[in-house]
Amino acid sequence: MAAMTIRNLPEETHRAIKLRAKLKGRSAEAEVRAILEEAVHPPEGMKLGTELQKFGKLLGGLELKIVRDKTPAGSTVSFE
């Protein structure tokens, strides 16, 4: 296993990690490992579309008006 030292970590961040770890019943070191693991390997279902959907629900839903461009691909458009 690799080891890492994090220098210049703001005290506020350190306190927040310790609190977050305490709330989850684990050490600060275990919490940092979990945060890093989730950052580089998000759990299944935590993809961009899922996150956007959650964000939309927080806003009370979004109404999108989608208009399809029916211009054939590769066609030339001239402006007069």
Amino acid (1-letter code) at residue 53: Q
Tens digit of each residue's pLDDT (9 = 90 or more) over 55-78: 888 888 877 788 888 888 776 666
Q: Is 65 domain-assigned?
A: no
pTM over 0.85: no
Q: How many domains does the chain have?
A: 1
CA atoms within 13 A on the CB side of 6: 9
Helix (H) or strand (E) segment spanning residue 10: none
Q: Per-residue pLDDT tens for 18-34? A: 999 999 999 999 999 99
The CATH number of whichever domain residue 36 belongs to comes to 1.10.1220.10
Token pair recorded at residue 4:
């890492």
Q: Which domain holds residue 38?
A: 11-56
| Maximum separation of any 2 CA atoms in the chain, in Å | 68
Higher pLDDT, 43 or 32: 32
